[in-house]
């Protein structure tokens, strides 16, 4: 939110400097994001008088002016403005000045052979408005030679970040109230005039949607003249980043920015019948002031007459009933709308506005009559006209919260001693009513204050957050105990292991577009938000892969040939009774090229499913999973398994049902849905499925001691069925003698001459580790027999 120092002084009597105000704003929780001083931009520009104006001898549209800039020596300036003439006063930019609108530095130059010592400036060139048809015309009493920045009363502009819980500070008056409470001056609330009205309002006003619009106030003003708003109003609006439009529109914007109270003006001639706040009808349409047409539904509140919708309530007015140059009679609307309804409507329509920002956070429900009186006074002062009496339909919330407060709570919760009298002063300065028994009545505008802790926050921030001492937490003597949980320790190990294997960590959103989330989850278990940030962040992620796929696509779109990404986070599902079900997970993605083109074959090597399997096994091993006991099984191809290629993916399981991981190539349909070129390999480790190790870990691990005796290796060649997975054979071999066999691995696969059709030959290297004494030949023979017998259970026979 932007506002000028001049505007702030309208509500705050203070002698504080710009720097002092900025420091206090930061101290009380209103972060100052920037301070802009327009006087710096206007340096080098002076009030000047045009003495003579003659046609340029070599250009039909240019004039040669003689200008008095207050130095006693007239200057020659070439100007193309049609309104330049002798005797007028304007703004002269001298050589060395920088034009604010385009950053051009003015120099002494020759234009079509005529010397020009600067430039007479327009409103647009000085960023004081949009007018550019001619140069600025100043009043006759403007002092020639004076700095235009001083004459224009250019005031520093504050840019302050207002947190969502403080809608009461979405107007300059609210900021001034906080600064006054912090001791930076005297608060001057808006002076509300008493306007009775000369006649009954000629239009009926009512609300038929008491939930969405509890209160709808209005009045008519006849005989207005809608020209330009006063210079002082335009100056303040421009400082706030608001473009002046017309006097009627500028008055409503001024009220909104000054007091945080949005309002609307209708051209009475465009209305037909009563003005009603009601629910929209399904598929009803309205063209808004931004010249876009919106389709409404029956969850939205609108302001309509007998013929059509004129206003998306609390968000934006309609294009056909807004004030124009020819408007002579107007209807003023000030209403209170339900914040939640406004937020839902705005998100559905994808429509943002200054009014929506304030209404969905919660405006002051007690400021309807005052706001209408202030707006009426502004319009009558700027545009003339005769106001009617006020029509009030419905009533806003009027029951303030009352909180029992103990001043001693400030020390306990806030960590700072503040005298009770000072606490009372702070609360009353913020417009809280404090009774003798410390029952505190909360102003209706303070929707964020719900209990005693909120009152402590108000006291502490105004007293000074910088006065709260930094106190270290108590720490017992001795060695600190570890605070990380076993699950956190596993995640740390996995993060280091993944990085060591060349994967880059990514952090993606926990929210997804609904279509992407549905692609990776059973829709019945999908966790969809009722109040999402946007439509693209509507569903909680059921998998980490969509975010990683999107990251890999962004990398590929920017010329990155390969991506090796991983992320550790949570998957979210709808559990029983609607509760959230969160699952710790590691997701990884291998996309693009594994190796660049080389001299051997001139081709790049893409990632394949075996790369994904290797990563999955390595990471499971780092997490402490019993990888030697895992079974490689095909994944389920329906539901949540449909994202993987059925012939190039599998799962790693500890038993038939406990799935620890899934890996492989993504399905072509998944690649198409995410608009990414394949092949892309993906891995998901389900950390909650990894069994916890039994017993407590020792404080210190024993030093590694290698076996005293040398290991023995034996090779076996088995004829096995062609469809038998190599992992099944290895599992059978390892189980033959778990005490003696420490490793088994496949080192050869052969089919062809000498191997029966439908069979294949798998060669296995088995490592035997003796314990207290070396193996005898008989012991090795007995172990070999066990290996052959165990392999036979998988229909494997020793090859002759």
Per-residue model confidence (pLDDT) at position 696: 53
pLDDT digits (tens, 9 = 90+) for 99-151: 988 889 999 999 999 999 999 999 889 888 777 789 999 998 899 999 998 88
Contact 665, 649 (CB under 8 A): yes
Give CB contacts under 8 A, 24+ apart, made by 184-189: 184/12, 184/14, 184/16, 184/20, 184/21, 184/24, 185/12, 185/13, 185/14, 185/15, 185/16, 186/12, 186/13, 186/14, 187/11, 187/12, 187/429, 188/10, 188/11, 188/12, 188/13, 189/11
Terminal Cα distance for the chain, rounded: 86
pLDDT digits (tens, 9 = 90+) for 242-256: 989 999 999 999 999
Per cent of the chain over pLDDT 70 is 97
Per-residue model confidence (pLDDT) at position 695: 58
| Residues 138/143/149/152 CA torsion (nearest 10 deg) | -50
Is the pLDDT at 561 greater than 50? The verdict is yes
Pick the CATH number of 2-37+156-187 from 3.40.309.10, 3.30.56.10, 3.20.20.140, 3.40.630.10: 3.30.56.10
Per-residue model confidence (pLDDT) at position 121: 92
Per-residue model confidence (pLDDT) at position 481: 74
Is the pLDDT at 357 greater than 80? The verdict is yes
Taking the C-alpha atoms of residue 319 and residue 444, their distance in angstroms, rounded to an integer, is 33
Identify the CATH number of the domain defined by range 402-467: 3.30.56.10
Taking the C-alpha atoms of residue 448 and residue 461, their distance in angstroms, rounded to an integer, is 15
**C-alpha distances out from residue 758 to 723, 732, 751, 752, 788, Å:** 8, 21, 9, 10, 20
The arithmetic mean of pLDDT across residues 214-240, rounded, is 92
Per-residue model confidence (pLDDT) at position 701: 53
Per-residue model confidence (pLDDT) at position 66: 95
The arithmetic mean of pLDDT across residues 613-639, rounded, is 84
The arithmetic mean of pLDDT across residues 476-499, rounded, is 87
Beta strands at 275-279 and 205-207: parallel, antiparallel or unpaired: parallel
The arithmetic mean of pLDDT across residues 355-381, rounded, is 94
Contact 302, 313 (CB under 8 A): yes
Contact 521, 500 (CB under 8 A): no
Q: Binding site annotation covers 522? A: no
**C-alpha distances out from residue 681 to 436, 503, 635, 653, Å:** 70, 13, 15, 19
Taking the C-alpha atoms of residue 387 and residue 195, their distance in angstroms, rounded to an integer, is 8
How many other β-carbons are positioned within 10 Å of the β-carbon of residue 40?
A: 12
Q: What is the mean pLDDT of the chain?
A: 90
pLDDT band at residue 595 using 50, 70 and 90 as cut-offs: confident
Is the pLDDT at 698 greater than 80? The verdict is no
pLDDT band at residue 404 using 50, 70 and 90 as cut-offs: very high
Taking the C-alpha atoms of residue 389 and residue 393, their distance in angstroms, rounded to an integer, is 13
| DSSP structural state of residue 210 | T
Taking the C-alpha atoms of residue 309 and residue 297, their distance in angstroms, rounded to an integer, is 12
Is the pLDDT at 40 greater than 50? The verdict is yes
- Evaluated on CA atoms 543, 549, 551, 552, the torsion sign reads positive
- Evaluated on CA atoms 22, 25, 31, 36, the torsion sign reads negative
Q: Binding site annotation covers 458? A: yes
Please name every residue paired with 109 in a beta bridge, in sequence order, or none if there are none.
116
**C-alpha distances out from residue 770 to 466, 648, 703, 707, 775, Å:** 69, 40, 20, 8, 6
**C-alpha distances out from residue 601 to 206, 495, 594, 605, Å:** 81, 35, 15, 10
Q: With a threshold of 0.85, does the pTM exceed it?
A: no
Per-residue model confidence (pLDDT) at position 559: 85
Taking the C-alpha atoms of residue 390 and residue 261, their distance in angstroms, rounded to an integer, is 17
Is the pLDDT at 446 greater than 80? The verdict is yes
Give the CA count within 13 Å in the CB-facing half-sphere of 473: 1
Topology of the domain comprising 712-798: Alpha-Beta Plaits (3.30.70)
CATH superfamily to which 205-394 belongs: Phenylalanyl-trna Synthetase, Chain B, domain 3 (3.50.40.10)
Taking the C-alpha atoms of residue 200 and residue 344, their distance in angstroms, rounded to an integer, is 36
DSSP string, 649-714: EEEEESSSS-EEEEEEEEPHHHHHHTT--S-EEEEEEEGGGSPPPSSPPPSSPPPP---SS--EEE
3-state SS, residue 75? strand
pLDDT band at residue 702 using 50, 70 and 90 as cut-offs: low
pLDDT band at residue 363 using 50, 70 and 90 as cut-offs: very high
3-state SS, residue 732? helix
Is the pLDDT at 575 greater than 50? The verdict is yes
Is the pLDDT at 380 greater than 70? The verdict is yes
Contact 136, 90 (CB under 8 A): yes
Q: Where are the domains of the chain?
A: 2-37+156-187, 40-151, 205-394, 402-467, 486-689, 712-798
Per cent of the chain over pLDDT 90 is 70
Is the pLDDT at 638 greater than 60? The verdict is no
Topology of the domain comprising 486-689: BirA Bifunctional Protein; domain 2 (3.30.930)
Do 2-37+156-187 and 712-798 fold alike per CATH?
no
Q: Binding site annotation covers 211? A: no
Q: Please choose, from the candidates 187, 171, 188, 170, the residue with its C-alpha nearest in 3D space to the C-alpha of residue 179.
A: 187
Q: Binding site annotation covers 325? A: no
Per-residue model confidence (pLDDT) at position 700: 46
CATH superfamily to which 40-151 belongs: Nucleic acid-binding proteins (2.40.50.140)
Q: Please choose, from the candidates 215, 577, 532, the residue with its C-alpha nearest in 3D space to the C-alpha of residue 372.
A: 215
Per-residue model confidence (pLDDT) at position 636: 61
pLDDT digits (tens, 9 = 90+) for 54-82: 999 988 889 999 999 998 889 999 999 99
Is the pLDDT at 91 greater than 50? The verdict is yes
Helix, strand, coil percentages (3-state) for the chain, rounded to 5, are: 30, 25, 45
| DSSP structural state of residue 798 | E
Is the pLDDT at 505 greater than 90? The verdict is yes
Q: Which helix (H) or strand (E) holds 545?
A: helix 545-557
């Amino acid at each position: 939110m932007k506002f000028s120092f001049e505007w702030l002084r309208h509500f705050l009597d203070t002698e504080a400097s710009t720097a002092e105000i900025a420091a206090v704003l930061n101290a009380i929780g209103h972060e100052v994001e920037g301070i802009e001083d327009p006087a710096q931009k206007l340096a080098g520009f002076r009030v000047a008088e045009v003495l003579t104006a003659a046609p340029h001898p070599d250009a039909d549209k240019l004039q040669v002016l003689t200008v008095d800039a207050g130095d006693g020596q007239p200057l020659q300036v070439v100007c193309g403005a049609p309104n330049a003439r002798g005797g007028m006063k304007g703004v002269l930019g001298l050589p060395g000045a920088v034009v604010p609108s385009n950053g051009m530095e003015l120099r002494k130059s020759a234009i079509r052979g005529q010397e020009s010592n600067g430039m007479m400036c327009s409103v647009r060139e000085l960023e004081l408005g949009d007018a550019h048809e001619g140069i600025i015309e100043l009043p006759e009493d403007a002092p020639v030679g004076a700095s235009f920045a001083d004459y224009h009363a250019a005031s520093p502009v504050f840019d302050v970040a207002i947190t969502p819980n403080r809608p009461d500070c979405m107007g300059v008056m609210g900021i001034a109230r906080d600064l006054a409470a912090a001791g930076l001056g005297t608060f001057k609330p808006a002076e509300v005039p008493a306007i009775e009205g000369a006649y009954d309002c000629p239009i009926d006003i009512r609300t038929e949607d008491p939930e969405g619009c509890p209160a709808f106030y209005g009045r008519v003003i006849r005989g207005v003249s809608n020209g330009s708003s006063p210079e002082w109003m335009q100056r303040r609006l421009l400082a706030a980043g608001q473009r002046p439009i017309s006097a009627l529109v500028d008055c409503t914007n001024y009220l909104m920015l000054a007091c945080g109270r949005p309002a609307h003006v209708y051209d009475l001639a465009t209305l037909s019948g009563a003005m009603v706040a009601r629910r929209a009808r399904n598929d009803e349409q309205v063209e808004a002031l931004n010249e876009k047409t919106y389709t409404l539904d029956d969850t939205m509140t609108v302001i309509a007459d007998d013929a059509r919708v004129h206003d998306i309530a609390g968000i934006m007015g309609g294009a056909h009933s807004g004030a124009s140059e020819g408007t002579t009679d107007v209807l003023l609307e000030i209403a209170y709308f339900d914040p939640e309804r406004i937020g839902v409507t705005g998100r559905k329509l994808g429509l943002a506005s200054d009014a929506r920002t304030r209404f969905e956070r919660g405006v002051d429900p007690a400021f309807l009559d005052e706001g209408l009186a202030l707006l009426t006074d502004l319009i009558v002062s700027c545009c003339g006209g005769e106001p009617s009496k006020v029509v009030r339909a419905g009533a806003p919330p009027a029951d303030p919260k009352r909180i029992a407060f103990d001043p001693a709570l400030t020390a306990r919760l806030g960590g700072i001693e503040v005298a009770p009298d000072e606490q009372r002063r702070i609360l009353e300065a913020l417009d809280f009513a404090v009774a003798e028994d410390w029952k505190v009545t909360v102003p209706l505008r303070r929707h964020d204050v719900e209990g005693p802790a909120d009152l402590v926050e108000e006291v502490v921030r105004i007293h000074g957050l910088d006065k709260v001492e930094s106190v270290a937490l108590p720490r017992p003597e001795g060695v600190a105990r570890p605070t990380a949980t076993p699950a956190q320790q596993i995640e740390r190990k996995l993060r280091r292991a993944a990085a060591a294997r060349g994967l880059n960590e990514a952090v993606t959103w926990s929210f997804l577009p609904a279509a992407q989330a549905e692609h990776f989850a059973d829709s019945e278990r999908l966790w969809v938000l009722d109040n999402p940030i946007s439509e693209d962040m509507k569903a909680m992620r059921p998998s980490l892969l969509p975010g990683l796929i999107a990251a890999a696509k962004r990398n590929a779109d920017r010329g990155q040939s390969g991506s090796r990404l991983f992320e550790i986070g949570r998957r979210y599902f709808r559990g029983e009774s609607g509760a959230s079900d969160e699952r710790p997970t590691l997701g990884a993605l291998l996309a693009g090229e594994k190796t660049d083109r080389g001299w051997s074959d001139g081709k790049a090597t893409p990632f394949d499913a075996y790369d994904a399997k290797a990563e999955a096994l390595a990471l499971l091993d780092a997490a402490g999973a019993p990888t030697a006991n895992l079974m490689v099984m095909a994944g389920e191809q329906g539901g949540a398994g449909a994202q993987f290629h059925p012939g190039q993916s599998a799962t790693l399981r500890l038993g038939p049902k406990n799935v620890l991981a899934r890996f492989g190539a993504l399905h072509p349909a998944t690649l198409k849905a995410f608009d990414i070129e394949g092949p892309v390999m993906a891995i998901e480790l389900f950390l909650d499925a990894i069994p916890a190790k039994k017993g407590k870990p020792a404080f210190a691990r024993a030093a590694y001691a290698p076996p005293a005796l040398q290991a023995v290796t034996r090779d076996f060649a088995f004829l096995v069925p062609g469809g038998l997975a190599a992992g099944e054979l290895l599992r059978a071999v390892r189980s033959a003698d778990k005490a003696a066999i420490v490793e088994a691995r496949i080192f050869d696969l052969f089919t062809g001459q000498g191997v029966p059709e439908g069979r294949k030959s798998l060669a296995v290297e088995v490592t035997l580790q003796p314990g207290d004494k070396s193996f005898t030949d008989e012991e090795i023979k007995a172990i070999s027999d066990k290996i052959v017998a165990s392999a036979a259970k998988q229909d494997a026979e020793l090859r002759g």
